[in-house]
Amino acid sequence: MALRLEDKWIWDSWYAFDGQNYHAFYLHASRALGDPVRRHRNPIVGHAISADLTNWTVVRDAIAVSDSPAFDSWTTWTGSVVQDDNGVWWMFYTGTSREDGGDIQTVGAATSKDLMVWKKVSSQPLVTADPRWYELLDKANWHDQAWRDPWVFKFPANVTTGAATVGVGSDQKTTDVWHMLVTARANKGPFASRGVLGHATSSNLLDWTVQPPLSEPDQGFGQLEVFQFEVVDEVPILLFCCGWRELSTDRAASFGKRDASYSVAVSADLAEIDFNKAKAFEHNLVYAARLIQGPDQKWNLIGFVNEVNGEFVGELSDPIPVTASASQGLIPRFV
């Protein structure tokens, strides 16, 4: 495997490229916890560097929890990294707080000049679920308030219509706007399939406006985790994952008790998304997979190995070569 730690479990990861090296940021927790389920409440954001996506050197950890009171006083969970127009790196990540019992997820950020040393922007979250569109904590019907796994990006310069312009003035170019995709649940629809693509926008990465979701509920998923949007070999793709316990009854019946990463081909402006068309990437069942271009500029998936024979593994896979089809989403790329 590309990255395995003898004394720690690894799960969700996200990546940045500095022009020379790839930087993997990942959740990890001590195997001394005994029960791998306990890792979710004891994570640290680790950091490793590679020139080829296969051979990794572990460096200093990036992010840890804050002292109370803070939005991330209990956990620091999955995020993404972007570089702003001034060359500053921003890491957006999920936090939960001891002050509210850890069941309400929000999004905050840290910045860095070198991808090595990170300074948190605020002890308060930058983006939270808006009850006009999104489900708040309702433990009678769902186990948490989902608002996590922020994926931040700008649209390609040629995308100027549809969902890309939501929340911005008609005189402002779409490419001037930062977009955040978020794991979220709608405040309507069947409880078992309220998973939607949450959305927020910003002009400066600090001040965010929550927008309506970019998808409708009741499309087969109770939640859609760890979103990523990329144009893969000219096909716009949304990548995400879902555990089998969070699938709708119909989808679970057809797919079985398997956690998987999913993809769906979408329009370039993310308009009219239909997750009913999403397909699991079954060639290699890694979870929380990420799309990343290798040194040859070809696309790969890297995710974590979840369970094998009923036991949690917790290590990052080697790069899995992929390409994309408008009808099938991500498919294996045979080299």
CA 240, 94, 4, 31 torsion-angle sign: negative
Smallest CA-to-CA distance from 213 within 203, 227, 232 is with 227
Contact 223/277 with Cβ under 8 angstroms? no
User: Nearest CA to 298 among 335, 264, 329, 267?
Assistant: 335
The helix or strand, by DSSP H or E, that contains position 250, with its residue range, turns out to be helix 249-255
3-state secondary structure of 210: strand
Nearest to 306 by CA among 37, 126, 43: 37
164 contacts 155 by C-beta, under 8 angstroms: yes
Kindly list the distances between the CA atom of residue 3 and the CA atoms of 14, 151, 326, in Å, as whole numbers in the listed order: 13, 23, 32
pLDDT score, position 309: 87
**Cα distances (Å, whole numbers) of residue 126 to 23, 78, 148, 203, 277:** 24, 15, 12, 13, 32
pLDDT, block means (10 residues), the chain with 335 residues? 91 98 98 97 98 97 97 98 97 97 97 98 98 97 97 78 43 72 98 97 97 98 98 97 95 92 97 96 96 97 93 96 97 91
Q: CA geometry: angle at 78 spanning 75 and 80, to 5°?
A: 135
Topology at the third CATH level for domain 8-332: Tachylectin-2; Chain A (2.115.10)
> How many CA atoms lie less than 13 Å away from 236 in the CB half-sphere?
12
Q: Dig out the tokens for 11 from the structure.
A: 């799960």
Q: How far apart are CA 290 and CA 250, in angstroms?
A: 26
CA dist 221 and 276 (Å) reads 9
Q: Are strands 320-325 and 209-211 parallel, antiparallel or unpaired?
A: unpaired
| Number of Cα atoms under 13 Å in the Cβ half of residue 68 | 8
Three-state DSSP state, 188: coil
Q: What's the longest Cα–Cα distance across the chain? A: 56
Neighbour tally for 190: CB within 10 Å: 11
CA 261 – CA 224 distance, rounded (Å): 10
What is the rounded CA–CA span in Å between residue 56 and residue 315? 12
- Alpha-carbon distances, residue 40 vs 35, 76, 103, 156, 261 (angstroms): 10, 9, 12, 35, 19
